[in-house]
Every structure is written in C-alpha cells, then in structure tokens.
Amino acid sequence: MSLTTQQPPAAAPKNVNRLGLTMADYKGAESTLCAGCGHDAITSQIIKAFYEYGVEPHRVAKLSGIGCSSKTPAYFLSKSHGFNGVHGRMPAIATGVMLANKSLISIGVSGDGDTASIGMGQFVHLLRRNVPMIYIIENNGVYGLTKGQFSATADLGSKAKSGVMNDLPAIDVCTMAIELGCNFVARSFAGDPKQMVALLKAALGHRGTAVFDVISPCVTFNNHEGSTKSYKYAKDHEELLHEISFVPFFEQITVDYSDGETSDVELHDGSHIRLRKTDKGYDPTNKGEALDTLRKCQELNEFLTGLIYINEMKPDFLTLLNMTDEPLATLPQERVQPKEDDLREIMAELM
C-alpha cells in the first residue's frame, strides 16, 4: 500500500505556513556555538519542522539541561518560553511543566552527557512515565562544553583528540528507550536534514515521550580521525532503515495501492508518516524487530537511522493521572479551593 498527498484546494500564500507565520517567526537568537557544530544543524531543522508543521509558538515550552546542546533552545523559537535548567534534570522540569499546563508542547534538548550520565536517572523515569514531549539528544560522544571529555555514548575504541582510547562500552540510548517502554524512538544524523525534519514532524504528531537521538558531531573536540562520532565516520557508517516522509493531518492523503514499497503509520494527531522501504522491509511497530536490528547494527559498528520504533496505542502520563482538561496552572480559585463547608466537615471529623 502506498500513499500520495494532495495540497488543500485553496493553496496558502508562499513563504507562510498554515498560521500565516514565516520561517523567521520560528527563529531564535544568534547561535554562539562553534561554526560547523552539529547542534546548529539540528536547530535549523527544528525551526523548519515547527514552521512547516505550523506549531503555534506561544504554545511551545523549550526546555534543556546544561551543555552546548542545552544552550540551543535560545537559538530557535524566540516567541516561545524557554527554560535552561540544571545539568541532567530537564526531564523533571518538563514533567512539572506538563503537569502544570497540559496544553503546552514541550521540546527538550539535551546532550549525551546531560542524558546518559548525570541525567540517566531522570531520563529513565521520564520514559517510564511517558510524559508527552519531544526529547532530543544531540549526541556527539563528548562533553562539548567542558572541553571534550568522553561521554557515556562514546563508542568502545573511539579515540579522543588527545589520542586517548575509550575503553568502556557505549550506552545506546535508543535501545534503552525502547526497553523502558518509550513509544517513539528515532535516530538521525545532523548531516541528514531531510530525514531530521520528517522525524521531528512525526514526533510532533506523537502523544507521549518521543526520543530523538541525533548524531551531532562536535567539530572542536570529536571530529577527527579515530572518532566514531565525526561527520565522516557517521556518513560512512549510517544504516538507513527507510526513507521517511511526513503527511501532516491538515493535508489530504490519497491511497495508492500500486506501490508495494511504502508503508504508512498513522500518528495520534491524524498525521501520517510514510516509510519507503530500503532493502529489508523494516516494521517500526515491531518492538522485537527494533531491538534486534539495533543490536545487529551495533555489532557491525553501524548506526541505524530512521524511525526505529513507534506505538501509538499507549496512554501518556497526563492521561493516566486523569487530570481535568484545562491547564492546572490557571484554574480559578473557586475551582481549586474547597468550600467553607468542606473545611467544617473535615474539622468535625477531627473533633
């Protein structure tokens, strides 16, 4: 089965999205990162994805921990509130934000140090709870901001700029995320903007934690010969699962059964992702296959990119808490303060 898309009849004017906003409306402050840093490439795709999807900027909360990667929320969506938290603890902040206002769209940006070392505990529990948010790991295998120490995602045998070899195994955040019950796990590469945009939009359509691991080379500390997170190494060892395109809920889809090479997954918000198979007919809704494929690739020193696992059937944390529909933050006093009679009743019980 395959799908093709059609634009809505009244074509929107050029250079604005369905909200009438331009790409510039999604930009942020000037980046202060090193020229060529993978993180900046990701920032550009976030801007593009949010623009094309037509996300209302005021509904977005940009959250991060600490690191070069965690600085980037300042560089996109300046019309959204942002919160640069403490190192490795963005998940807690994100959880609190979403509890306070469930109508927000949270996007968290973290690094491999921020997530897989100091923040591992919080990351694990974020996934376990399935708090609705996009969680991006800008993965460069080093601590960029503290000048190049190995992180826990550095591959075994990867060489530091100083020549020191990493002799500990890497933590694979995608494998871990799937095992912890995460229902949207994707990986991409900062050098593949097209794939990144499609996956980011897919993440926007998902309800629950969407983990997006992006190999994002650190040009200053980890882009040399012997590094396994350099642009060159990543290009040479990328294993593409499928070609991916995204059909937003506000565009029409027509089904074309003639093409057996694509498959389609419907997202929570009614959008679709269309996967064009590479040679192996990968099914991202099959958890066992996802874990198997990840493991096989690791053994071959390759890294998988694409939508690795997706499950649109699982409830998110806020649904489980059975919270009222409006944001808790702005409920009026009459609704959150019990009545005088209630206090009287409680007091009588205690007499």
Ligand X SMILES: Cc1ncc(C[n+]2csc(CCOP(=O)(O)OP(=O)(O)O)c2C)c(N)n1
Q: Contact between 268 and other proteins (CB under 8 A)?
A: no
Q: How far apart are CA 209 and CA 192, in angstroms?
A: 23
Q: How far apart are CA 69 and CA 140, in angstroms?
A: 9
Q: How far apart are CA 70 and CA 145, in angstroms?
A: 10
Using CB under 5 A, list all residues that contact Mg ion.
111-113, 140
One-letter identity of residue 87: H
Q: How far apart are CA 42 and CA 172, in angstroms?
A: 20
The three-state secondary structure class of 53 is helix
E-assigned strands of 182-271?
184-189, 209-215, 238-240, 242-247, 252-256, 262-266
Q: Contact between 39 and ligand SF4 (CB under 6 A)?
A: yes
Burial class (CB in 10 A: 0-12, 13-18, 19+), 19: middle
Find residue 290's DSSP bridge partners: none
Q: Contact between 113 and other proteins (CB under 8 A)?
A: no
| Least gap, CB of 107 to ligand X (angstroms) | 16
Nearest CA to 114 out of 164, 151, 83, 162 is that of 151
Residues numbered 328-347 forming contacts with other proteins, rule: CB under 8 A: 328-331, 333, 335-338, 340, 342-344, 346-347
213 binds, among Mg ion, ligand SF4, ligand X, none (CB under 5 to 8 A by kind): none
Using CB under 6 A, list all residues that contact ligand X.
66-69, 87, 111-114, 138, 140, 142-146, 151
Q: How far apart are CA 123 and CA 91, in angstroms?
A: 6
| Least gap, CB of 334 to other proteins (angstroms) | 10
Q: Contact between 37 and ligand SF4 (CB under 6 A)?
A: yes
Site string for ligand SF4, 216-255 (x = CB under 6 A): --xxxx----------------------------------
Nearest CA to 284 out of 319, 310, 320 is that of 310
Residues numbered 101-160 forming contacts with ligand SF4, rule: CB under 6 A: 140, 144-145
- Candidates 200-208, 212-220, 295-303, 305-313: pick the segment binding ligand SF4 (CB under 6 A): 212-220
CA angle 63, 228, 75 (to 5 degrees): 25
Among 12, 20, 22, 79, binds other proteins (CB under 8 A): 79
85 binds, among ligand X, Mg ion, other proteins, none (CB under 5 to 8 A by kind): other proteins
- Candidates 72-80, 220-228, 285-293, 308-316: pick the segment binding other proteins (CB under 8 A): 72-80
Residue 116's φ and ψ, nearest 5 degrees, are: -90, -10
Cβ nearer to ligand SF4, comparing 21 with 90: 90
* Tokens at 325, concatenated: 């529909």
| Least gap, CB of 305 to Mg ion (angstroms) | 18
Q: How are beta strands 149-150 and 142-143 bridged, if at all?
A: antiparallel
Contact residues: other proteins, CB under 8 A: 29, 56-61, 63, 73-74, 78-86, 89, 91-97, 99-101, 103-104, 121-122, 124-125, 318, 321-325, 327-331, 333, 335-338, 340, 342-344, 346-347, 350-351
Residues contributing to the site for ligand SF4 (CB under 6 A): 33-34, 37, 39, 68, 140, 144-145, 218-221
